[in-house]
Structure 1
Amino acid sequence: MQMQFRRSGRLLHDLLDLFIRVGLIAAMVAFSYQVFAPFLELMVWSVILAVTLYPLQRRLQARLGWRDGWAATLIVVVAQLLLLVPVYLLLSSLSESLESLIALLKSGAWSLPKPPDSVAGWPLVGPQLHALWLSTSNDLTSTLQNLLPHFKGTGRVLLAALANVSAALLLFIAALIIAGICMAFGEQGANAFKRITTRISGPERGPHIVHLCTATIRAVAMGVIGIAFIQMVLVGMGLVVMGVPGAGFLAFVVLLLGIVQLPATLITLPAILYVFSTQGFDAATIAFALYMFIAGLADNVLKPMLLGRGVDVPMPVVLIGALGGMVAKGIIGLFIGPVILAVAYKLFWMWVDEQKPGDSIDPLPPY
């Protein structure tokens, strides 16, 4: 009886000690997450960029004979220039266009022609549109003053969107700098990640999971951003050759549409209609229309070829992970989604293939 009492007392003591330890560990993890949460997105972007750009660093290091830090610094500087120079040119072009528009409106030299009478016969919106058009052509200044209160909400939305874009750009620049630091210590980081995955999944699965995560991130970067860049170049060349106004800006929009997985035909089809309406139908414009139509749909051909390249999972798994991750977590989910889904897919089939000794699967009977 006394021995049972001592055993039960020791068991309660051990359980209490276990609960205290688990509680302290949970409190420390929760507090650490709260401290690290503001930097979580920045660090995830940094790791994604470092994993994507690390093969380029290895090639530069082998060709130039530089140290890891110097090669990573060169990549970061060139990437910053490639990112900031087009942004600066775009902002300069937009500011000049806005200044010229304001000067034109203030001078009063620009006037809107009167609407044709056929506009009033349009269904649903014809009479209202004809009246608004007519009043604007008669007195543009008063019409703009009357419409200005209605544009305040739209202006706030545009300013909020511009602020979000600016914040995303600053985040990307900071992530690129931190990615350079991570690439400078790439081997140590890779070994640390292997140790972590080996500790969690065992010595057999750990290195395979590391390879799977790395290959998936690079495949998504090549299959999403790479395809968007190729499509931007193809569409931009066609727009420049045909002299479409704002060709550089429209090509940049094609790049953004490709990253967020929207069709480039949102730009190519209006461009085709604009060229037909301004230059008519001839051999050059028809060839331009065919070229732009093919360039706008090029991602449908390139994506199956590049998105799952080098990844030991089916391409639909990576594609579903990219699309679902983007819907759930935005642009960063475009990379996190396929990694998580690919790892879960491989772990599931590893679990399925683990058979106990002596277990056998009977073949299905013939139909």
Structure 2
Amino acid sequence: MSRGLLDVLIRAGLVAVLVISCFEVFSPFLNLMTWSVVLAITLYPLLRRIKSALGTSDGRAATLIVLIAIIILMVPIYLLGNSITDSVEHALAVVKGGEVRVPPPAESVASWPIVGKSLYGYWMQASTDLTGLAQKFAPQIKEFSLAAFGKLAGAGMGLLMFIAALIVGGIVMAFGESGQQSAVRIAARVFGPGRGENITLLCTATIRAVAQGVIGIAFIQMLLIGVGFVLMGIPGAGLLSLAVLLLGIMQLPATLITVPVIAFVFITQGASVATVLLSIYVFVAGLADNVLKPLLLGRGVDVPMPVVLIGALGGMVTGGIIGLFIGPVLLAVGYQLFWQWVDDQPTFDDVPTQKPS
């Protein structure tokens, strides 16, 4: 082995060790920084509007956006926490007072296919000896309770991480112009001098399009369906609306919530003009994303909407919520580079020809 090749291998090995070490040090903050960059890119146009309207600096505008966003987040969380606390206290009071009464099942329940007989037996035992039934299923109840508390704790940690990412994103927005220049320089170094700015603009536009086309549509759908739930008088309308928002972000159909609610309304309130009209409204509102998504998801992005949609769905499946943004960016950049490679194919004039000897 020559000395020059050995030097190259040693340098490459040292660089690889340095890169791996840096990644291990940075990996605990990877999700936090990714969310911070996504939030900064999404909210930066709002910062420029506030800066222009108030005539203030980037830092103060970013601080104002972060404070308003935290207040908007904390108000519904506080109300939701109070509602859950009151519900738990009421349930404990009812259980301690011995006021829990389960009505006996109808005889027709036993004739239901597959689950009818077992369901009738458990239901009958619940109506006569609820304590004994609870003791019988105590291990399953304990396991379910622990899983529910674990999910609740995970949601709380996710919320804290989101607030921290929002604060860090505000710092990133305060240095938005220099950050954009740095991103252009890095992209130019990776993809070539003539493509750096275009790639940077494409990534920025894709992230904002996903934020508008996924989270924005989910929020609009939550408002539309929530109004219908309130008019119907559905108990827990706020929690169900929040579930609709989460389903929309996860790219799952809102009909998973609206159809059972419509069935509940017809069972409890019967069929009337009001219930039929409100049920039709809620059902149509649950399908609104099919109309809004093609209009908003690919807007402002120089790639076809199906590419962004497939990237969002695939990123969600492979990387969770953060993959919802990373997937479309990767697919959009790959799509652009692929067609640039196709268009840059050599012509016949560029192919060297051999002269006959």
What's the TM-score once normalised by structure 1's chain length? 0.92
Query: What is the alpha-carbon distance in structure 2 between the residues aligned to residue 114 and residue 280 of structure 1?
Result: 22
5 Å matches for 1:250-269? Answer: 250-269=240-259
Aligned twin of 2:353? none
Change in 2 beyond 3 A, CA 1:77/1:291: same
Within a 5 Å distance, the mapping from 1:122-271 to structure 2 comes to 122-271=112-261
Equivalent residue, structure 2, for 1:21: 11
Q: CA deviation at 1:266?
A: 1.2
Write the distance in 2 (CA, Å) between the matches of 1:98 and 1:85: 20
**Helix, strand or coil for the counterpart of 2:321?**
coil
User: In 1, Cα distance between the equivalents of 2:243 and 2:324?
Assistant: 18
Once the two structures are TM-superposed, the CA of residue 298 in structure 1 deviates from its matched residue by 0.2
Count of matched residue positions in the alignment of Structure 1 and Structure 2? 350
Partners of 1:230 and 1:44 lie apart in 2 by 25
Matching residue within 77, 96, 104 for 2:86: 96
| Partners of 1:121 and 1:287 in 2: CA distance | 33
- Provide the residue aligned with 1:79 in structure 2: 69
Give me the whole-angstrom Cα distance separating, in 2, the residues matched to 1:106 and 1:142: 16
Q: Deviations over 1:48-93 (max 9, x none)?
A: 0000000000001001111101110111111111112111211210
Q: Which has the larger radius of gyration?
A: 1
CA distance in 2, matches of 1:122, 1:206: 65
State the Cα distance separating 1:318 from its structure 2 match.
0.4
Residue 319 in structure 1 maps to residue 313 in structure 2: no
AA of the residue aligned to 1:123: P
- Cα–Cα, structure 1 residues 158 and 359, in superposed 2: closer, same or farther, change >3 Å? farther
The residue matched to 1:293 in structure 2 has which SS?
helix
Amino acid at match of 1:247: A
CA-CA distance at 1:126 after TM superposition: 2.3
For 1:274, the aligned partner's letter is F
Q: Could you tell me which of 102, 110, 120 is aligned with 1:112?
A: 102
CA RMSD of aligned residues (A): 1.4
State the secondary structure of the residue aligned to 1:355. coil
Aligned to 1:66, the other structure's residue is in SS state coil
User: 1:53: which partner in 2?
Assistant: 43
Unaligned runs of 5+ in 1: 1-10, 361-367
Supply the distance in 1 between the matched residues of 2:272 and 2:36 (Cα, whole angstroms). 50
The runs of at least 4 aligned residues of structure 1 exceeding 4 Å deviation read: none
Measure the CA separation in 1 of the matches of 2:323 and 2:168: 20
The separation in 1 between residues aligned to 2:37 and 2:116, in whole angstroms, is 55
Matched, 1:121 2:111: yes
For residues 10-46 of structure 1, the C-alpha deviation after alignment (integer angstroms, 9 at most, x for no partner) is x922222212211111111110011011111110010
Listed one character per residue, the Cα deviations across residues 242-287 of structure 1 (whole Å, up to 9, x for unaligned) are: 2111111111111000000111111111222222223222221111
Q: Deviations over 1:279-325 (max 9, x none)?
A: 22222111101111110000000000000000000111000000001
Deviates more, 1:214-223 or 1:94-103: 94-103
Q: What is the deviation of 1:94? A: 1.1
3-state SS, counterpart of residue 265 of structure 2: helix
Question: What is the aligned-residue identity percentage?
Answer: 59
Distance 1:43 1:122 in 2: 53
* Structure 2 residue matching 1:109: 3-state secondary structure: coil
Are residue 333 (structure 1) and residue 326 (structure 2) matched? Answer: no
Moved more, 93-102 or 212-221: 93-102
Q: In terms of mean alpha carbon deviation, does 278-287 or 42-51 score higher?
A: 278-287
In structure 2, the residue matched to 1:6 is none
Q: Secondary structure at the match of 2:330?
A: helix
Report the secondary structure of 1:332's partner residue: helix
Question: 3-state SS of the aligned residue for 1:47?
Answer: helix
> Which amino acid is the alignment partner of residue 69 of structure 1?
G
1:41 is aligned to: 31
Q: Per the alignment, do residues 201 and 150 of structure 1 end up closer, same or farther by CA in structure 2, a change over 3 Å counting?
A: closer
CA offset at residue 359 of structure 1? 5.1
How many angstroms apart in 2 are the aligned matches of 1:290 and 1:254? 17
Aligned equivalents of 2:37 and 2:339: distance in 1?
27
Structure 2 partner of 1:299: 289
Q: Partner of 2:251: helix, strand, or coil?
A: coil
After TM superposition, give the deviation of residue 127 of structure 1 in Å: 2.4
**Whole-Å separation in 1 of the counterparts to 2:210 and 2:114:** 46
2:269 to 249, 254, 279: 279
What letter corresponds to residue 218 of structure 1 in structure 2? R
Instruction: Single out whichever of 131-140 and 329-338 deviates more from structure 2.
Output: 131-140
Give me the whole-angstrom Cα distance separating, in 1, the residues matched to 2:139 and 2:7: 66
More off after superposition, 49-58 vs 273-282: 273-282
Query: For residues 84 and 297 of structure 2, what CA distance do their matches in structure 1 show?
Result: 34
Q: Distance in 1 between matches of 2:56 and 2:149?
A: 44
- In structure 1, the residue matched to 2:20 is 30
